Amino acid sequence: MLNKVLKHAERTSPKYKWIALSNTTLGMLMASINATSLIIALPVIFRGIKINPLSANSFSYLLWILLGYMLVTAILVVSLGRLGDMYGRVKMYNIGFVIFSLGALLAGFTWSHGSTGAIELIIFRMVQAVGGALLMANSAAILTDAFPHNQRGMALGINQIAALAGSFFGILVGGFLAQFSWRWVFLFNVPVGIVGIIWSYIALKEIDVFHPAKIDWIGNITFAAGLAMVLIGLTYGIKPYGSSDMGWSSPMVISLIAAGIVVLLLFALLERKVKEPMFKLDLFKIRAFTAGNVAGLLAAMGRGGLQFMLIMWLQGIWLPLHGYAFTNTPLWAGIYMIPTTIGFLIAGPVSGWLSDKYGARPFATGGMLIAALSFGLMMMLPVNFPYYLFAIILLINGLSFGMFSSPNTAGIMNSVPSEFRGVASGMRATFMNVGMPLSIGIFFSLMIVGLTSSVPGSIYHGLINNGVSAQLATHLSHLPAISYLFAAFLGYNPLKTLLGPKVLSTLHPSAAARLTSKEYFPKLIATPFKHGLVVVLTFAIITCLVAAYASWLRGGKYISEENDGTKKLSEQAV
């Protein structure tokens, strides 16, 4: 009993809780900087390892470099959160710093070129993902241990703001470092990681009591296998298959998704019979926990893939139409997305602080309703919009998700008993990380359907009218629409890259200049892209509205409390 009192005093110590917040914030900052710096530096990385982004096999490499990290993180966060409950959250968090930094070091020294170099880079990114999963699974639990329940929303809000701020700084860091060498995009993380490792080992302490248990190997294996199959199937669903622009008819995709669902159902049945399960299904009996996670999943689905769509809108259409060279569009697209970051930075801490007093429901629900409104306003914009209108809508969107994020996280973490905070944090992170690849699969599929209905004919007639042979024009017009999207995303002028200097040299100089100009390709795809964007935004609005409803169902302010070793759940009306 005395030990418990001392632990509680340490947890509420003003000094220690800020140490915990600053260190976990550094971890989130490092992980988010790494993610966005990679996106901006991808053109340089592909050139560095000598990969042509428009070749048939390159799409798979691009897909795995972008999504492999997310898939590994989504698969592992629950298991690693459970290990934190069993052996110490700080210990697992420290190990995460080490593995993340090691993965960055290996990626920075990728030694091969071509497909071998791409595979090495994918593997090293997955090593980083293991470290990132350890950081993500345990950081929220460490903060929940360190802060009293009436300050957790504020602490988690600051932590998540750092993650978003890191995504902005990552754009600048990636754009700057890529000017010297693509390797520095990864190696930049190493000194930051070393500081974090030393600091976390010296300063962080285990607050809550360990809960040793046997590792649920059957649960870990079935969950990882089932989720991996579903997510890999969804990922390959947007890859062209045969004569189709997408892979949803591929036997491999269908088999992976179906088998994954069966294995996940088997996992749920087995977890009911395991004495010490890795996935604490009983936590779903807590209304605030279940509603918060459903809302978090839907919010991730509404926002995740749409970020890629907005970046492609800027990089593939708006920026070239406004005189920016394709090679410069990745960096400038990130800069023009800054209003979203500003909105999040404003709303995150304020909503977190207010949710500590009034509960998560009004802020998380309101945030999702405003997000739906922002997507509706975005739908009304013309393709070549006035930037100030776009910036205002992005600001509203950032405010809405900032308003939702920290209260929702605090509501989830406050609702569970302390001994399950690690696994609860992992489960929360799983829902969030699964939402991203789900969103990307759905959003890209909807966009490709919109593009393929009219882009091939426009490309064919445009090429023929400028002197390109009918045979080549037919071939290029039937290339998968995803190729054009990713070419623009990587900062390439698609037609200039596809035609190549040999073909361009045979055309009349004025025709060649017209086809490879900054404006020709954007004007070609502007109308079809807008049609696809309307469909995508409609889906985003629906997910946000359903997320708002799920968030409202969480009920009033809900906090799990411990009294003399017994657990009591108390609910207060807001």
Residue of 561 and 266 predicted with greater confidence = 266
In this structure, the number of other CB atoms found within 10 A of the CB of residue 66 comes to 21
**pLDDT level of residue 565 (50, 70, 90 thresholds):** very low
In this structure, the number of other CB atoms found within 10 A of the CB of residue 450 comes to 21
CA distances (Å), origin 229, targets 75, 106, 563? 10, 27, 43
pLDDT of residue 4 exceeding 50, the answer is: no
CA distances (Å), origin 360, targets 137, 303, 421, 568? 21, 20, 18, 20
State the average pLDDT over residues 196-207.
83
Do residues 5 and 77 share a domain? yes
The reported pLDDT for the residue numbered 211 is 61
Closest listed residue to residue 234, CA positions, set 433, 476, 477, 484: 433
State the average pLDDT over residues 475-501.
76
Do residues 137 and 230 share a domain? no
**pLDDT tens digits, one per residue of 314-341:** 888 898 889 888 777 777 877 888 898 8
In this prediction the pTM is: 0.80
Which of helix, strand or coil describes residue 241? strand
CA 574 – CA 557 distance, rounded (Å) = 6
pLDDT cut 70: percent of the chain above it: 88
Decide if 544 contacts 375 (C-beta within 8 A).
yes
Any idea what the CATH number is for the domain that residue 292 is in?
A: 1.20.1250.20
State the average pLDDT over residues 89-108.
90
> Which token pair is 399?
């405010």
CA 492 – CA 44 distance, rounded (Å) = 11
Residue of 35 and 89 predicted with greater confidence = 89
The reported pLDDT for the residue numbered 488 is 66
- Boundary-marking domain end, from 182, 213, 244: 213
pLDDT of residue 483 exceeding 80, the answer is: no
In this structure, the number of other CB atoms found within 10 A of the CB of residue 325 comes to 12
pLDDT of residue 348 exceeding 90, the answer is: no
> Which token pair is 159?
């932590």
Half-sphere exposure of 194 (CA within 13 A, CB side): 5
Do residues 229 and 174 share a domain? no
Residue of 529 and 560 predicted with greater confidence = 529
pLDDT of residue 213 exceeding 70, the answer is: no
Angle at CA of residue 110, ends 106 and 113, nearest 5°: 165
Do residues 391 and 518 share a domain? yes
Do residues 328 and 235 share a domain? no
State the average pLDDT over residues 297-315.
83
Decide if 203 contacts 18 (C-beta within 8 A).
no
Domains of the chain: total: 3
State the average pLDDT over residues 181-190.
85
- Boundary-marking domain end, from 257, 277, 297: 277
**pLDDT level of residue 491 (50, 70, 90 thresholds):** low
Decide if 159 contacts 24 (C-beta within 8 A).
yes
Q: What sign has the CA pseudo-torsion 438, 442, 445, 447? A: negative
CA distances (Å), origin 92, targets 77, 78, 152, 409, 427? 11, 13, 21, 20, 16
Do residues 349 and 498 share a domain? yes
- Owner of token pair 């390797």: 183
How is the chain split among helix, strand and coil, in percent rounded to 5? Answer: 80, 5, 20
Alpha helices in 178-216 (DSSP H): 183-187, 189-203
Amino acid at site 230: V
How far is CA 243 from its chain centroid? 30
**pLDDT tens digits, one per residue of 373-424:** 999 999 999 989 999 999 999 999 989 988 998 888 888 888 888 777 767 7
CA 162 – CA 156 distance, rounded (Å) = 10
Backbone torsions φ then ψ of 59, nearest 5 degrees: -60, -40
The reported pLDDT for the residue numbered 168 is 64
What b/e string do you get for 24-59 counting C-beta neighbours within 10 Å, with b at 16 or more? bbbbbbbbbbbbbbbbbbbbbbbebbebebbeeebb
Do residues 341 and 206 share a domain? no
**pLDDT level of residue 571 (50, 70, 90 thresholds):** very low
DSSP letters of 92-141? Answer: HHHHHHHHHHHHHHHHHT----HHHHHHHHHHHHHHHHHHHHHHHHHHHH
Average pLDDT, rounded, for the chain:
80
Do residues 188 and 223 share a domain? no
Which domain range does residue 71 map to? 1-213
Do residues 355 and 295 share a domain? yes
Do residues 231 and 312 share a domain? no
Do residues 442 and 343 share a domain? yes
> Which token pair is 90?
């700080």
pLDDT of residue 485 exceeding 60, the answer is: yes
Do residues 272 and 333 share a domain? no
Choose from 223-237, 273-287, 480-494 the range with maximum mean pLDDT.
223-237
CA 334 – CA 318 distance, rounded (Å) = 13
CA quadruple 95, 98, 103, 108: dihedral, nearest 10: 170
pLDDT of residue 558 exceeding 70, the answer is: no
- Boundary-marking domain end, from 213, 235, 259: 213
